[in-house]
């Protein structure tokens, strides 16, 4: 049976909730379909020590500031609590255990096909996030590796790795924090870094780092990067001395041109300097108990953590939508009209503002476009 409403939102994470509240404020009634059994399902299963890297003030969703009691960088548990409070504040009632398998055209509307029933609406907002699409690269010999290999999205805490030799592959925000988590628990941890990086401090002179891209939005990213570079260099010191390569593009240019967010350092560089995290280069191949690096000798490891990011692929979810996804299934635009009337994505593309902030901006824009 197909039921109709003003809009269908797929996902009850920050993007789905913020969009639902924004639509409601404009008099539109949205059905939020969530495949999990609770709000903020992805934040419930992130690793234990996670705190927002972006500050509370710039991570709140529209209409409800995060409480001061959460501190400047709220914990994972506080984020979950906040998302619940957000839904309660706006009386949002997601339909749980409602996975959407495909969204198809139905006349001039959209039909979201789920398990037991389907819904139709003129507007559909895909707010499914990235968590379902862990990127797991492969290397020669990895299938024969005897130890555990897990993606960062399945890492919870250092306990299972006590007295093991762990290799974390990838120096993004998750890889850096997981390596630090392991090092602080005295686990023998090595970080494999393949590419040049952009590292920024969480704060500059006591001001949260996100203040700067927000204040410099009117400048071309390359110019803003040039302005910020001396302060960032002063705050984090030389990363080249540690053996890391600095990205030829600055942080803002990298986000704007390649969708690559910078690494917000919360102590990993100090742990590398102190020798508590060892650095190695790119991986050439795996042995049964070892890893061969491209520029350094093979070493033995007990476990591998792939902090290799996420690659959303929405082709199966949107089988007959045209001109909205790139060749690998990632949305071409987010938070604005797509090539398919009535179809929107929220929070689908990384932003210099921080993703929560970007979601807030996009939710309002989508609601305005839906109301028009
Ligand atoms: C480790 C980590 C730390 C982060 N830290 C920050 C930070 O400090 N600051 C910041 O601004 N951003 C951060 N982000 C980025 C981003 O803000 C979060 O990932 C945020 O949760 C994204 O919200 P979302 O609603 O787009 O996606 P999600 O939170 O992933 O929510 C998507 C929801 O959709 C549901 N869903 C998916 N597919 C379907 C389907 N087919 N049918 C029904 N339901 C479906 C999922 O179950 C989920 O509940 C972080 C991301 C990660 C991975």
8 Å CB contact between 362 and 333: no
208 φ/ψ angles, rounded to the nearest 5 degrees: -55, 140
Taken in order 220, 226, 227, 228, is the CA torsion positive or negative? positive
What single string gives the DSSP state of each residue in 186-201?
T-EEEEE--S-B-EEE
Question: Does any ligand 1 atom lie closer than 6 A to the CB of residue 35?
Answer: yes
8 Å CB contact between 282 and 293: yes
| Longest alpha-carbon distance in the chain | 64
Question: Does any ligand 1 atom lie closer than 6 A to the CB of residue 41?
Answer: yes
Taking the C-alpha atoms of residue 200 and residue 203, their distance in angstroms, rounded to an integer, is 8
- Give me the percent of the chain exceeding a pLDDT of 70: 99
What single string gives the DSSP state of each residue in 47-88?
-TT-B-SS-GGGTPBTTBPPPGGG-SS-BHHHHHHHHHHHHH
Q: How far is the CA of 163 from the centre of ligand 1 (A)?
A: 32
Residue 260: its pLDDT value, please?
Answer: 86
Q: For 134, left (φ over 0), alpha (ψ -120 to 50), or beta?
A: beta
Give the closest residue (by CA) to ligand 1 atom 5: 52
At 257-290, the pLDDT tens digits run 988 889 999 999 999 999 999 999 999 999 999 9
Number of DSSP helices (H) and strands (E) in the chain, helices first:
9, 20
Question: Does any ligand 1 atom lie closer than 6 A to the CB of residue 172?
Answer: no
Q: How far is the CA of 125 from the centre of ligand 1 (A)?
A: 14
Q: Return the ligand 1 atom nearest residue 100 CA.
A: 42
- Given a cut of 90, whether residue 212 has pLDDT beyond it is no
Residue 246: its pLDDT value, please?
Answer: 92
Mean pLDDT value of segment 196-224? 90
Q: Return the ligand 1 atom nearest residue 59 CA.
A: 11
Mean pLDDT value of segment 117-126? 93
Taking the C-alpha atoms of residue 49 and residue 226, their distance in angstroms, rounded to an integer, is 33
Please provide the average confidence, as pLDDT, over all residues in the chain: 95
Residue 2: its pLDDT value, please?
Answer: 57
* Best CA proximity match to 296, nearest among 278, 272, 270, 311: 278
Taking the C-alpha atoms of residue 288 and residue 233, their distance in angstroms, rounded to an integer, is 41
At 230-247, the pLDDT tens digits run 999 999 999 999 999 999
Side-chain half-sphere of 113: how many Cα atoms within 13 Å? Answer: 11
Residue 214: its pLDDT value, please?
Answer: 82
Q: How far is the CA of 164 from the centre of ligand 1 (A)?
A: 30
Mean pLDDT value of segment 339-367? 94
Question: Does any ligand 1 atom lie closer than 6 A to the CB of residue 124?
Answer: no
Q: Which two tokens stand for residue 224?
A: 């803003």
Residue 118: its pLDDT value, please?
Answer: 86
Residue 288: its pLDDT value, please?
Answer: 96
Mean pLDDT value of segment 246-253? 93
Question: Does any ligand 1 atom lie closer than 6 A to the CB of residue 128?
Answer: yes
- Give me the percent of the chain exceeding a pLDDT of 90: 90
Place of tokens 């968590």: 131
At 98-107, the pLDDT tens digits run 999 999 999 9
Taking the C-alpha atoms of residue 117 and residue 361, their distance in angstroms, rounded to an integer, is 32
At 141-200, the pLDDT tens digits run 999 999 999 999 999 999 999 999 999 999 999 999 999 999 999 999 999 999 999 999
Residue 309: its pLDDT value, please?
Answer: 94
Question: Does any ligand 1 atom lie closer than 6 A to the CB of residue 13?
Answer: yes
**How would residue 52 be classed by pLDDT, with cut points 50, 70 and 90?**
very high
Question: Does any ligand 1 atom lie closer than 6 A to the CB of residue 24?
Answer: no
Q: How far is the CA of 8 from the centre of ligand 1 (A)?
A: 18
């Amino acid at each position: 049976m197909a039921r109709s409403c003003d809009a269908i939102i797929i996902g009850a994470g920050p993007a789905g909730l913020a969009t639902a509240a924004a639509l409601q404020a404009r008099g539109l009634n949205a059905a939020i379909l969530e495949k999990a059994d609770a709000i903020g399902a992805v934040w419930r299963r992130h690793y234990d020590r996670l705190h927002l890297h972006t500050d509370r003030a710039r991570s709140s969703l529209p209409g409800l500031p995060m409480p001061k009691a959460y501190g400047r960088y709220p914990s994972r548990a506080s984020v979950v609590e906040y998302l619940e409070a957000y839904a309660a504040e706006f009386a949002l009632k997601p339909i749980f255990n409602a996975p959407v398998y495909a969204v198809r055209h139905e006349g001039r509307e959209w039909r979201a096909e789920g398990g037991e029933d389907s819904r139709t609406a003129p507007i559909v907002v895909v707010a499914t996030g990235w968590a379902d699409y862990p990127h797991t690269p492969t290397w020669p010999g990895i299938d024969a590796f005897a130890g555990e290999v897990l993606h960062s999205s399945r890492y919870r805490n250092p306990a299972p790795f006590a007295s093991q030799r762990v290799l974390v592959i990838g120096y993004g925000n998750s890889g850096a924090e997981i390596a630090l988590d392991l090092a602080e628990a005295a686990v023998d941890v090595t970080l494999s870094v393949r590419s040049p990086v952009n590292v920024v401090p969480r704060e500059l002179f006591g001001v949260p780092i996100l203040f700067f891209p927000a204040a410099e939005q009117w400048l071309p990213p390359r110019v803003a990067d040039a302005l910020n570079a001396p302060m960032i260099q002063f705050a984090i010191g030389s990363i080249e001395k540690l053996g890391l390569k600095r990205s030829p593009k600055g942080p803002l240019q990298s986000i704007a041109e390649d969708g690559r967010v910078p690494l917000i350092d919360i102590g990993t560089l100090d742990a590398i300097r102190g020798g508590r995290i060892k650095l190695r280069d790119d991986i050439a191949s795996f042995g049964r108990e070892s890893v061969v690096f491209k520029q350094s000798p093979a070493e033995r490891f007990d476990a591998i953590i792939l902090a290799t990011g996420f690659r959303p692929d929405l082709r199966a979810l949107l089988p007959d939508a045209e001109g909205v996804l790139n060749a690998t299934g990632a949305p071409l635009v987010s938070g604005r009209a797509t090539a398919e009337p009535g179809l929107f994505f929220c929070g689908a593309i990384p932003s210099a503002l921080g993703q929560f902030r970007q979601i807030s901006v996009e939710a309002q824009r989508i609601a305005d476009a839906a109301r028009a």
